[in-house]
Amino acid sequence: MKITQLLQEDKVTLSLEVFPPKKDTAVEQVSRSVREIAALQPDFMSVTYGAGGGTSAYTVQLAQEIKAEYDVPSMAHLTCVSSTKETVKKQLECMQEAGIENVLALRGDIPADAEFPLPDQFHYAVELVRYIKQIAPEMCIGGACYPEGHPEAVSKAQDIQHIKEKVDAGCEFLTTQMFFDNDIHYNFLYRIREAGITVPVLPGIMPITSAAQMKRSQELSGTVFPRRFLAILDRFGSSPEAMKQAGIAYATDQIIDLLANGVNNIHIYSMNKPEIAIAIMNNLSEIIKC
Ligand code: FAD
């Protein structure tokens, strides 16, 4: 099922994200997590793609498994930053053969030590979106956006213009980078709607359940943690079980606030942790019926 079709329905949708194994030895463990997460029957699941090529080999396979074995619509991420156009083409052909209907078209992070871009590489996600439209026009294409602005962006206004270019090129919905203050998201929504971007935007909610995870998330996305979250970390950060509970509660609270403010489609970075996905889904079991 195409994600745009799901998003057109007048109902709350919850989607969950997983990532492929980093090493061949972890395949079993990841498959188990994916199975348990799929058992929650989310509206769709997305599978990340390793920018360095490290974990990309399993992305299509996992997305196919989710759809075929667990009957959950799936989306495969695809980055273009460390791939030649030929590799991107092959990856898209694999998706088509596997019957994958949804792709999240991304640039990826530029590896620090790489010469970029090479002549046979795409520079930005917008070029990937145009290419997919050309060679796999049947695919439903999503893209990324950044409520706090992409870390490399010269300004938020320019970043939004680049998002608009992606949408004009054929990107049919957007998923946001993680954020921890919903007001930042509401402000972003206002600004992109003003800029003429009308496609659905799925807020990406990251449950932070440890101090180490918070540090990694900050390094990765440059996100700002509000005082309320910092107080939680300060009080519970050194007690793993308490911090887990508090992190789940914080993510749940963010989701409830989004739903209460009319945001119907929520994406959760469940990060191969079924116990966290289960806890959040349980917390929302009645709420999502309204
Ligand atoms: P782009 O849309 O190309 O934007 C990148 C930067 O370039 C922005 O600053 C933008 O303003 C600027 N820009 C865009 N177009 C132009 C232009 N024409 N001229 C000048 N500047 C321009 N990474 C992975 O490796 N694997 C994943 O699976 C993955 N999944 C993700 C899922 C989500 C929901 C999000 C939010 C991010 C994900 N990422 C993933 C991280 C992502 O690849 C990085 O954030 C990357 O740095 C930017 O990718 P993008 O597709 O947003 O790039």
pLDDT in tens, the chain (290 residues): 999 999 999 999 999 999 999 877 688 999 999 999 999 999 999 999 974 444 678 999 999 999 999 999 999 999 998 888 999 999 999 999 999 999 999 999 887 777 777 778 899 999 999 999 999 999 999 999 999 999 999 999 999 999 999 999 999 999 999 999 999 999 999 999 999 999 999 999 999 999 999 999 998 888 999 999 999 999 999 999 999 999 999 999 999 999 999 999 999 999 999 999 999 999 999 999 88
DSSP H/E element including 231: helix 227-236
Q: Whose CA is nearest to atom 20 of ligand 1?
A: 162
Beta-strand (E) ranges in 58-200?
74-79, 102-106, 140-145, 173-178
Whether 48 lines ligand 1, by a CB cut-off of 6 Å, is yes
Count of all residues that appear for the chain in the document: 290
Whether 144 lines ligand 1, by a CB cut-off of 6 Å, is yes
91 neighbors 60 (Cβ within 8 angstroms): yes
User: CA-CA distance, 18 to 46, in Å (whole number)?
Assistant: 6
For residue 53, the model assigns a pLDDT of 44
Whether 15 lines ligand 1, by a CB cut-off of 6 Å, is no
Preceding peptide of 147 cis, ω within 30°:
no
Whether 59 lines ligand 1, by a CB cut-off of 6 Å, is no
The closest-lying atom of ligand 1 relative to the alpha carbon of residue 77 is 28
Instruction: Tell me the best of 150, 168, 199, 268 to mutate to test the pocket of ligand 1, counting ligand atoms within 8 Å of each CB and taking the most.
Output: 150
Instruction: Tell me the best of 49, 81, 124 to mutate to test the pocket of ligand 1, counting ligand atoms within 8 Å of each CB and taking the most.
Output: 124
For residue 50, the model assigns a pLDDT of 79
Name the CA dihedral angle for 168, 169, 171, 176, rounded to a multiple of 10 degrees: -70
Q: Whose CA is nearest to atom 23 of ligand 1?
A: 108
For residue 155, the model assigns a pLDDT of 97
Whether 110 lines ligand 1, by a CB cut-off of 6 Å, is no
Instruction: Give me 141's structure tokens.
Output: 């294409």
For residue 123, the model assigns a pLDDT of 92
Whether 124 lines ligand 1, by a CB cut-off of 6 Å, is yes
Whether 126 lines ligand 1, by a CB cut-off of 6 Å, is yes
Instruction: Give me 271's structure tokens.
Output: 């990060």
Whether 77 lines ligand 1, by a CB cut-off of 6 Å, is yes
What's the distance, CA 151 to chain centroid? 17
For residue 57, the model assigns a pLDDT of 82
| Ligand 1 centroid – CA 6 distance (Å) | 24
**Which of 243, 215, 218 is CA-nearest to residue 231?**
243
What's the distance, CA 53 to chain centroid? 18
pTM exceeds 0.95, yes or no: yes
Give residues with Cβ within 8 angstroms of 48, minimum separation 6. Answer: 17, 18, 19, 20, 55, 59, 77
From 9, 17, 241, 275, active-site residue: 17
For residue 45, the model assigns a pLDDT of 98
User: Could you confirm whether 17 is annotated as catalytic?
Assistant: yes
| Ligand 1 centroid – CA 156 distance (Å) | 14
Q: Whose CA is nearest to atom 15 of ligand 1?
A: 162
